[in-house]
Amino acid sequence: MDERIVEFTALLRANGLRVSMAEHLDAFHAVLHLGVGSRAALKDTLRATMVKRSVDVATFDELFDLYFSGLGNAVGQGTESLMQALAMDESALQQLLDQLQELLQGMDQELSDLARALLQNDAGRLEQMLRQAVKQADAKSIERVYQEGRYSQATGEAMGLGGLDDEIGRLRESLSEMDLPPELRDLLERLFEQRLKDLREMIRRAVRVELEKRDHTQRERDRMANLAEKSFYYLSEDEMRRMKDAVARLAQRLKNVVAVRRKRAKRGKFDVKATLRKNLQYGGVPFRIHFDERVREKPQVVVLCDVSDSVRNVSRFMLQFVYSLQDLYSRVRSFIFVSDIGEITQLFEENDTQEAISQALTGNVINVYAHSDFGMAFRLFHRDHLTAVNNRTTVIILGDARNNYNLAHEWVLRDVQQRAKQVIWLNPESRLTWGFGDSEMDRYQPFCDLVEECRNLNQLYRVVDRLVT
């Protein structure tokens, strides 16, 4: 079991799970104390000691099933296909196998371990032999689907599949010389034929399990790539959980970029004039290098987030993004609006992410079920919160600009832009729809420094790239 835990740990690491040496040792100690009495207990033990992030649980579960149950499932499916081919239930199949065993004991023919395990349907022995053959054929090195045939053939040769055909042939000849009921003879013929098919299918599935182990990371990348192009509007509950982790990584990426810039700029730029003046006493030889004194600017962010029903999913991710940036800037003030506007900065300071978002979106701050009125919300912001904006403030607005034909009051954005460092508008609607119907985007756009379509993760990534470059 120790060797298998080592291999399983390597598999987790190869697929992106961060399992430290300390956690690896914890897994050994936990298995030693709790034992491996059941598969479920082993799974819970390894998950508790190796998985740190909730987002990795699904990957762990899938890899655990592949590693510890993949070959067992391949053998089990062979048994099911045998029962289906013979039109028998489990009890009737066992009776037939017992009859065959009695016949084999009375015959002067030595069978290989593989033939005996196959004809006795010894699932444990078959799984063990499959595992050894996969290792001997180096099937763990498989990387592409088109390699399945080659590795399946190599695994079959390692198991002795070629010799098995001859063994079954000789066994058929011996049974044909015996006085058996026609029904039993027919059942045995079908049994032999099906068992050979089952073994080839078991081998193919065993190789496929190895491919799925190695290919899991790529499949995860493909899945995330597809998810990144999917509109926030149409995410399922499971996709929303996966997206939360992706948004958190995006926020961390922005933090890292800004942190590197601040580190590089810590000393300021080389000041030629000051260096020459400081070194006049040395005849102009620059013994003492002088850098200009850089005044560290503390940027601020003000977020205005539309939480009306039409954009609520998008708002959820934007609020999570904002929450992740709380420690990046000197001040982040967050507001939500539909027709009224309310500040939710304190919610993020006092609660965890999900609780803060839940309170913000369930009507505890403003009436989120009202009809959208951007003009009214902007006027209230101008009246009550305009002082939150200064020349160090980046104002980010998320909304579709659908104003229900109310007054746009675009002059508010003009005043905000005059006070702010920059105004950024992220619109979750397609750019082709802006300015049509009750959309006031064409009125608001002139008073924004950057306006971008932002309705999926890839578009959000591109916006962030523009912000940090």
The H or E element containing residue 424 is strand 422-427
Percentage of residues in the chain with pLDDT exceeding 70?
Answer: 77
- The strand pair at 331-337 and 300-306 is best described as parallel
Q: Which residues of 24-52 are buried (b: 16+ CB within 10 A; e: fewer)?
A: bebbeebbeeeeeeeeeebbebbeebbbe
pLDDT per residue as tens digits for the range 406-432: 999 999 999 999 999 999 998 988 889
pLDDT band for position 324 (cuts 50, 70, 90): low
Alpha helix positions (H), 87-181: 90-105, 113-119, 123-136, 148-159, 161-176
How much is the average pLDDT of 385-398? 90
Say if residue 406 is in the same domain as residue 422: yes
Q: What is the pLDDT of residue 411?
A: 95
Per the listing, tokens 């149950």 go with 69
Question: Residue 212's Cα: distance from chain center in Å?
Answer: 16
Amino acid at 378: F
Beta bridge partners of 396: 303, 424
Q: Is residue 261 a contact partner of residue 334, using CB atoms and an 8 Å limit? A: no
Judge whether residue 150 has pLDDT over 90. no
**Residue-number span of the structural domain to which 377 is assigned:** 239-264+298-468
Q: Name the token pair of 438.
A: 């009750």
In angstroms, what CA-CA distances link 28 with 21, 24, 54, 88? 11, 7, 22, 43
247 lies in some domain: yes
- The strand pair at 393-398 and 422-427 is best described as parallel
Per the listing, tokens 């987790």 go with 12
Judge whether residue 337 has pLDDT over 90. yes
pLDDT band for position 294 (cuts 50, 70, 90): low
Q: What are phi and psi of 373, to 5 degrees?
A: -145, 85
4 lies in some domain: no
* Count of Cβ atoms closer than 10 Å to residue 224 Cβ: 15
pLDDT per residue as tens digits for the range 209-246: 777 666 555 566 666 677 777 777 777 666 776 676 66
Q: What is the pLDDT of residue 40?
A: 76
Say if residue 211 is in the same domain as residue 330: no
Asked which of 276, 296, 316 is the last residue of a domain, the reply is: 296
Say if residue 392 is in the same domain as residue 322: yes
Q: What's the mean pLDDT when you consider all of the chain?
A: 78
460 lies in some domain: yes
Say if residue 86 is in the same domain as residue 165: yes
13 lies in some domain: no
Q: What is the pLDDT of residue 49?
A: 80
Strand ranges across the sheet with 450-453: 341-343, 331-337, 300-306, 393-398, 422-427, 450-453
What's the CA gap between 201 and 271, in Å, rounded? Answer: 74
pLDDT band for position 136 (cuts 50, 70, 90): confident
Question: Residue 209's Cα: distance from chain center in Å?
Answer: 20
Nearest CA among 124, 112, 216 for reference residue 170:
112
Q: What is the pLDDT of residue 216?
A: 57
Say if residue 463 is in the same domain as residue 382: yes
Lowest pLDDT segment from 316-320, 355-359, 386-390: 316-320
What's the CA gap between 425 and 401, in Å, rounded? Answer: 10
Domain count within the chain = 3
Q: Name the token pair of 136.
A: 């001997």
Q: What is the pLDDT of residue 332?
A: 80
In angstroms, what CA-CA distances link 181 with 94, 163, 178, 185? 18, 28, 10, 6
What's the CA gap between 277 and 88, in Å, rounded? Answer: 99
The H or E element containing residue 200 is helix 182-229
Say if residue 181 is in the same domain as residue 103: yes
178 lies in some domain: yes
Nearest CA among 122, 195, 215, 199 for reference residue 155:
199
347 lies in some domain: yes
Nearest CA among 332, 262, 257, 267 for reference residue 297:
262
| Predicted TM-score (pTM) of this structure | 0.52
pLDDT per residue as tens digits for the range 57-114: 777 777 776 666 666 666 777 778 778 877 888 888 888 888 888 887 777 677 788 8
Q: Which of 118-122, 152-156, 249-253, 460-464 has the highest mean pLDDT?
A: 152-156
CATH number at residue 329: 3.40.50.410
Q: Is residue 391 a contact partner of residue 419, using CB atoms and an 8 Å limit? A: yes
How much is the average pLDDT of 239-264? 62
What's the CA gap between 452 and 469, in Å, rounded? Answer: 16
Say if residue 289 is in the same domain as residue 424: no
Say if residue 258 is in the same domain as residue 280: no
69 lies in some domain: yes
Say if residue 446 is in the same domain as residue 363: yes
Q: How many CA atoms lie within 13 A of 200 on its CB side?
A: 10
Q: What is the pLDDT of residue 132?
A: 80
Say if residue 422 is in the same domain as residue 305: yes
Say if residue 122 is in the same domain as residue 63: yes
Say if residue 70 is in the same domain as residue 213: yes
Q: Which of 9-18, 29-38, 171-180, 458-467 has the highest mean pLDDT?
A: 171-180
Q: What is the pLDDT of residue 133?
A: 82
- The strand pair at 341-343 and 393-398 is best described as unpaired
| Higher-scoring residue by pLDDT: 142, 48 | 48
How much is the average pLDDT of 312-322? 74
80 lies in some domain: yes
